[in-house]
Amino acid sequence: MITAFLLRALDRNILIAIAALLIVAALVPVLNLLVPPTSPFHIPTYIVSLMGKYLTYAMLALALDLVWGFCGILSLGHAAFFALGGYAMGMYLARQIGARGTYGNALLPDFMVFLNWKELPWYWTGFDHFWFAALMVLAVPGLLAFVFGWFAFRSRVTGVYLSIITQAMTYALLLAFFRNEMGFGGNNGLTDFKDILGFNIQAGGTRNALFAATAVALAFSLLVASGIVRSKFGKVLVGVRDAESRTRFLGYRVENIKLFTFTVSAMMAGVAGALYVPQVGIINPGEFAPANSIEVVIWTAVGGRGTLIGPIIGAVLVNFGKSVFTAAFPEFWLFALGGLFVAVTLFLPKGIVGTWRQMRARRRETARMTAASPQAAE
Amino acid sequence: MTISKPATLLYLDGVSVSFDGFKALNSLSFVVEPGELRAIIGPNGAGKTTMMDIITGKTRPDSGEVFFEGQIDLTKKDEAEIAQLGIGRKFQKPTVFESHTVWDNLELALNRKRGVFATLFYRLSSQDRARIEEILATVRLTSRASDLAANLSHGQKQWLEIGMLLAQEPKLLLVDEPVAGMTDSETVETAILLKEIAKTRSVVVVEHDMGFIRDLGVKVTCLAEGSVLAEGSIDFVSADQRVIENYLGR
């Protein structure tokens, strides 16, 4: 059953994308570790981590595409699920610091010593173990999405109203995580990480392993998303997007369909966040900023929503542009981003991949027409 | 009401509903028997669409009883449950999944398990394939099976939607203005199609086109201002003085 589901996921484009990701996962560490720094093919370690960061963003955009591109739910709070996954990983990494913190306290993270706390809050229990943290990376964003979606979809909140409450959700989390009393490091968040699974987090080998893990996780997410989209369930999803009431009158439980997709997407975003934190070395409440979630929407729109591969390309391209642009003209980046969104909406409403597919389909159609009726073409 | 409730397929008694003080339905009583094909006429605002909304669970009545198969209280159920009970609905404006092919539209409508996991792991069986092909033939869309629904003509979209309702295998079909915007030949074909469908299930048709209703040749109910004005054969109803005043005379 599962095999049939996954096999159906592999159409040609998805297969190429997955193969490309797996090749990148193997090739980049080779070019970093085995090729000498004097060679033009050498990739410096900081670039490896930068690319790893792009790929976690790509995974977040892919997660958004599942709900927005296929189910029509414009979530403007997806960065919240990303940040929650990031915090779960950050808590594990913070526990690994042990007595090597500034205050040398083996029992408490630095910020708790600073706040004069005497013992670890109950909700930090278990985060010493990687497996527990990994579970929470999926469970916390998934549970929030489930509870949020349960109420929102059951009450039939749709369209712009749903988008607004997702913004409110991420903003509320931003304010909550800023508070020191919450016990997540307040304003500063969690940082100064030392080890992950016993390996030095700064070491070149670890950085490459994290990059490879991210590329593989993205490939797997793409496989799962494609399996969902290409199943009958995926067709129902598109039905909900295009004609919700028709789907309902055919006897489908629209709220359950949305809830499932929203929860899966949130869990995917959580994993992306968990891979992001060790590669950038910090998680703080800024990740919950409403603007972050809106940026994800822009990446997805640029790449082409409803195409799965488009958002991955969009996220990588826009963030590469951001890295270049913010180095050259730091104060103009937001204008460039806004301009990009307007330009894509006006000139490439289907995004890069969508437009490309459209052109190819049109070319094939004309080829077919001329082949079928050579006289008519004259 | 002289008909006993258990023998009916659809039973509405004293149904009233108002929107912001406007009485859309005013103590409407109405019965459909198993296997019946029934036409409903009435001026704009008579409550025809509201009545369909009540039956399919989109709108809750303020008062009155709505029963399906004599004992299932439809006022307690939502759209998806009612659809699964076997009531299919065709909208006034053709509503199909435009970005899916004709085939996929029918596959989605097919009366199979509709849960998240059942659809995730669904595989097209040869039995389902045969059923879809059969429906394609019934609604005359076999040659368009792999085309996107968006590329169909208006009349073909109406037929596709009727085909989707057939795939649902409903016991009762509610059809809202099926021939609006159709050409004359399409209208005649649609009348034949609906009579064919009505052989195996009950059908309620709301329509303005009197010629079409005459083609159907069935019992007619005339609604006005939210309640039943007259009921009977088309000739009987169109001779009724109040029907002429309220509807035909205009």
Residue A378 lies in a domain: no
Tell me if chain A has a CB within 8 Å of the CB of B108: yes
Beta strands B37-41 and B202-206: pairing type?
parallel
> From A70, which residue of chain B is nearest by alpha-carbon distance?
B99
Q: Which of B104, B114, B123 sits opposite A251 (nearest CB)?
A: B114
Query: B76 to chain A, minimum CA–CA distance in Å?
Result: 16
Query: A247 to chain B, minimum CA–CA distance in Å?
Result: 9
Query: A56 to chain B, minimum CA–CA distance in Å?
Result: 26
Residue A237 lies in a domain: yes
Q: Which of A231, A242, A257 sits opposite B122 (nearest CB)?
A: A231
Burial class (CB in 10 A: 0-12, 13-18, 19+), B19: exposed
Tell me if chain A has a CB within 8 Å of the CB of B100: yes
CA B180, B185, B186: angle at the middle one, nearest 5? 45
Q: State the DSSP string of A93-130.
A: HHHHHGGGSTT--SSS-HHHHHTT--S--GGGTTTTSH
- In the β-sheet with B202-206, what is the strand arrangement from edge to edge? B87-90, B172-176, B202-206, B37-41, B219-224, B227-232
B80:A252 CB<8 A: yes
HEC per residue, A297-314: HHHHHHHCCCCCHHHHHH
Residue A140's nearest CA partner among A75, A194, A73, A92 is: A92
C-alpha–C-alpha distance, residues A344 and B244, integer Å: 57
Give the number of residues written for chain B: 250
Query: Could you tell me if A326 and A295 are in contact, meaning their C-beta atoms sit under 8 angstroms apart?
Result: no
Chain A residues within 8 A of B88 when measuring between CB atoms = 249
Q: Give the dihedral of Cα atoms B220, B226, B228, B229; nearest 10 deg.
A: -90
Convert the pLDDT of each residue in A3-42 to its tens digit.
878 877 788 899 999 999 999 999 999 999 999 999 999 9
Query: Could you tell me if A325 and A336 are in contact, meaning their C-beta atoms sit under 8 angstroms apart?
Result: yes
B120:A235 CB<8 A: no
- In order along its 250 residues, chain B shows pLDDT tens digits of 445 677 899 999 999 999 888 888 999 998 999 989 999 988 888 888 899 999 999 999 999 999 999 889 999 999 999 999 999 999 888 899 999 999 999 999 999 999 999 999 998 999 999 999 999 999 999 999 999 999 999 889 999 999 999 999 999 999 988 888 888 888 888 888 888 888 889 999 998 888 888 888 889 999 888 889 888 888 888 888 888 887 776 5
- The helix/strand/coil state of A282 is strand
Residue A61 lies in a domain: yes
Token reading at A61: 């955009």
Residue A195 lies in a domain: yes
Which residues form the domain of A364? 2-372
Chain A residues within 8 A of B111 when measuring between CB atoms = 251
DSSP tag of A77 = -
Kindly tell me if the per-residue pLDDT of A374 is higher than 60.
no
Convert the pLDDT of each residue in B167-194 to its tens digit.
999 999 999 888 888 888 888 888 888 8
How many CB atoms are located within 10 Å of the residue B164 CB?
27
The values of phi and psi at residue A120, to 5°, are -70, 130
Q: Which residues, including other chains, have CB under 8 Å from residue A364's CB and lie 6 or more apart?
A: none
- The helix/strand/coil state of B143 is helix
Q: How confident is the model at residue A165 (pLDDT cuts 50, 70, 90)?
A: very high
Burial class (CB in 10 A: 0-12, 13-18, 19+), B145: middle
Token reading at A149: 């979606």
Tell me if chain B has a CB within 8 Å of the CB of A254: yes
Residue A68's nearest CA partner among A256, A225, A300 is: A300
Q: Which residues, including other chains, have CB under 8 Å from residue B156's CB and lie 6 or more apart?
A: B141, B144
DSSP tag of B148 = B
Interface confidence: ipTM more than 0.90: no
How many structural domains does chain A have? Answer: 1
